[in-house]
Amino acid sequence: MAPELETALLRAFLTAVRAGSISRAATALGHSQPALSQQLRRLERAVGEPLLRRTTAGVTPTRAGEALLPYAERILALSAQALRAPRQALAGHCGIGLLEDLTAAPLPQALADFARTHPGVTLEVVSLPGPAIREAFTSGRTQLALCDPAYLPEPPRWTVRTPLTWAAGPGFDPDADPLPLILFSPPCRWRAPVLDALEAAGRRWRVAFESTGLAGVTAAVRAGLGVAALLPANLEPGITVPSLPRLPDVELGLARRPDTDGDPLVDAVEALLRRLA
């Protein structure tokens, strides 16, 4: 009989990838580190491939892990929705403002799956730069906004820290001096922490390519123009993770319009975003 993927094992894997560390993931899940490591080994045996690359600096997904990541996100999201579906019939419209970095990750697919599960629901995902996400939220076009907290018009209801990882095309030389960088154009607030990490490590760098959008950044990475700092979920097949100075975590925060308090649809979408952010 073919092995089955247990949701507990997938949750352990996702938490480890997001935390970038087995110890931090164990703390987040309330497990001991040996217990979490055992769960991860069970998942790797079921899949038949190593899923995490373990170093003294933490963990990053292997190519097999990157391939499994979006499926794990969807399986857990659908599992939670299936448990709620018999108790809750949802209807109405909800607009969600998302930082563009999140729109190439599994989150939009999970939202689409959610809408398919609830045929009376209409979801609108609005992908905009930070200042425009704030404007869409303030005007009422979106009821929820998930982005850098600095762009939110009010203190976030909750925040989450997520790791960045280096991304480069095949054959990239991490010893290049100066290091060619692919960056998001200003006003991206993640530029400064990335550059600070290189400066702290004594690495010289130069800007080889800039883009206002994720598509431009990933295209430049595929073309081999340099190295970029991306969310782990945005690592495409064939992209390598070079050994470079450790990148800092970045923060995401969620705002919700106060006039939606008690709305079951917005409650459900917020819960989905919180699980997957």
Task: Give the chain's domains with CATH numbers.
Answer: 7-80 (1.10.10.10), 91-161+252-276 (3.40.190.10), 165-247 (3.40.190.10)
Asked if the model's pLDDT at residue 45 lies above 60, the reply is yes
- Could you tell me what percent of the chain has a pLDDT over 90? 53
Cα distance between residue 40 and residue 42, in whole Å: 5
The structure tokens listed for 106 are 């599994």
Where b means 16+ CB within 10 Å and e means fewer, 94-125 reads bbbbbbbbbbbbbbbebbebbbeebeebebeb
Q: What is the pLDDT of residue 61?
A: 93
Tally of CB atoms within 10 A around 186: 10
Contact 99, 133 (CB under 8 A): yes
pLDDT per residue as tens digits for the range 73-103: 888 888 877 766 555 578 899 999 998 888 8
Best CA proximity match to 201, nearest among 20, 57, 101: 57
Taking residues 20-38, what's their average pLDDT? 89
Model confidence pLDDT, tens digit, residues 239-275: 888 999 999 898 999 999 999 988 999 999 999 898 8
Asked if the model's pLDDT at residue 230 lies above 50, the reply is yes
According to the model, what pLDDT value does residue 31 have? 86
pLDDT in tens, 105-150: 678 888 888 888 888 899 999 988 888 899 999 999 999 999 999 9
Mean per-residue pLDDT, 158-186: 92
Q: What is the pLDDT of residue 212?
A: 86
- Residue 155 corresponds to which amino acid? P
pLDDT digits (tens, 9 = 90+) for 192-206: 999 999 999 999 999
* Cα–Cα distance measured from residue 132 to residue 113, given in angstroms and rounded to the nearest whole number: 26
Handedness of CA 233, 14, 107, 142 (dihedral sign): negative
pTM of the complete model: 0.66
CB of 47 closer than 8 Å to CB of 69:
no
Q: Residue 69: pLDDT above 50? A: yes
What phi and psi values does residue 104 have, to the nearest 5 degrees?
A: -95, -5
Q: Any idea what the Cα angle at residue 94 is, between residues 116 and 102, rounded to 5°?
A: 80
What value does the mean pLDDT of the chain take?
A: 89
**C-alpha dihedral, 239 to 243 to 245 to 249, nearest 10°:** 50
